[in-house]
Structure 1
């Protein structure tokens, strides 16, 4: 299967799950021309995929420098739109979405700039300026269980330390850019259960976090991987792990990800797992 990561094998509940990885493993790559995909979205509706706050340009420039260090200047993409913000110029070079978090005058870590070409049911204009607590508001129990810990992680980040976590869901869409849930979920009722392995997709987010040593901010990256649910059909061990994760997911996780919308389709697939096919 094309997915590099299988986070459903690790937990049946929402977890912070950050772990250190080698600096050289920070960016995974594996997309031929991310600039072409992102530039089309930039031209179509910039507010969906880009936002920045006043004063964020120094942090953006530091992000661009980190990306250049990681990739080298020779990896720059082709002709770019004019007068690009530094963070978006950097984002054109990688498959990942790039989110700049900076500590504001009120003491809160806030999202000050982001390039968002593969958002999962949110847009750049909706989230710009939000704090850590506000960004994770939809996650059941986040404020009570995780917010203080996440804030401590941001405060304690060291330069050259890269942290990674992974997230997953099931969605009836093979698009990376999913700014709204409404048109996708409206199609669920029309899916033939026999086609669930082909129509439903495993959507995995590989996320990283690292400190910006010069400006003091933090860069959060999101890399989305997609594969049809039917890709599990030929791998019994992975299929069994997915079935266990799906059926044992906590009520909070199920509610947050709306697993209830897909229960019948997923169970139909698990009862007769067929390869995704063409």
Structure 2
């Protein structure tokens, strides 16, 4: 079985990497009942997975209408905030960005598949603040991303994908510490089953009436073993892992997984790096 997305084959460094896609491809689907997964999280960890700021309801309502149009059926909020109602109907997490006080800020979000962050930690933050932990983001990308938000036109749907390796098959991972604490207990011989490729497929589009921007995040998980099913796919991943830029490796904490990933690659016969043979460790 092939992974739904393979962004490691395209880059191993931070990149804005947004590309236009057809409007019909905006939401990928693939989950019969998203609410069955999301509702228990909303009940048990409400502040972790949901947040809204005052004044965001008009843009939320527009986002809900956009999601309903994509699904081809109406969404009844049933007393819920509109963005939350929409998020219960789609697999994606939904994040609303609005221009406030001269900066694009996160004004509402439903976040049921977080990769080591929470709704309460990011609600209200600007683009610069949201990407503060990313090495070199302010210097390399912030101005470009801000221009992109300013110039985003209605009807245009943009997509990007990023990736990492984690030792959890759960989509809900708001806290890195308990996940990473389990790394030393993993037998390198079990790396193919214990480690997962975690891919985020993200989209961005303008809400024409309010001028807000709607950002979606869909998480896909595959065991590392899926790479071994195709030699070209395995080689592409090995090149990306071993050739990843230092800032990218540092942010993704690749060093924590190096012994396990290398054990997997050697076990599968992938013994070459981007620069030639690697000696066994």
Same fold flag (TM > 0.5): yes
Q: Deviations over 1:192-249 (max 9, x none)?
A: 0000000000000000000000000000000000000011111110000000000000
- Report SS of the residue matched to 2:198: strand
Unaligned runs of 5+ residues in structure 1 are none
- Report SS of the residue matched to 1:237: helix
From 244, 254, 257, give the equivalent of 1:259: 254
Q: Size of the alignment, in residue pairs? A: 269
Indicate the residue corresponding to 2:98 in structure 1.
102
TM-score normalised by structure 1 residue count: 0.95
Deviation at 1:6, TM superposition (A): 0.3
Deviation at 1:29, TM superposition (A): 0.3
Alignment of 1:46-195 (within 5 A): 46-73=46-73, 83-104=79-100, 106-195=101-190
Distance (whole Å) between structure 2 residues aligned to residue 58 and residue 14 of structure 1 = 33
Deviation at 1:42, TM superposition (A): 0.3
From 217, 221, 230, give the equivalent of 1:222: 217
Q: Deviations over 1:102-123 (max 9, x none)?
A: 000x210000000000010000
Indicate the residue corresponding to 1:235 in structure 2.
230
Deviation at 1:3, TM superposition (A): 2.4
Indicate the residue corresponding to 2:15 in structure 1.
15
Unaligned runs of 5+ residues in structure 2 are 270-281
- Report SS of the residue matched to 1:119: coil
- Report SS of the residue matched to 2:229: coil
TM-score normalised by structure 2 residue count: 0.94
- Report SS of the residue matched to 2:139: helix
Contact 2:3 2:226 in 1 (8 A): no
Distance (whole Å) between structure 2 residues aligned to residue 196 and residue 117 of structure 1 = 26
Deviation at 1:140, TM superposition (A): 0.6
- Report SS of the residue matched to 1:233: helix
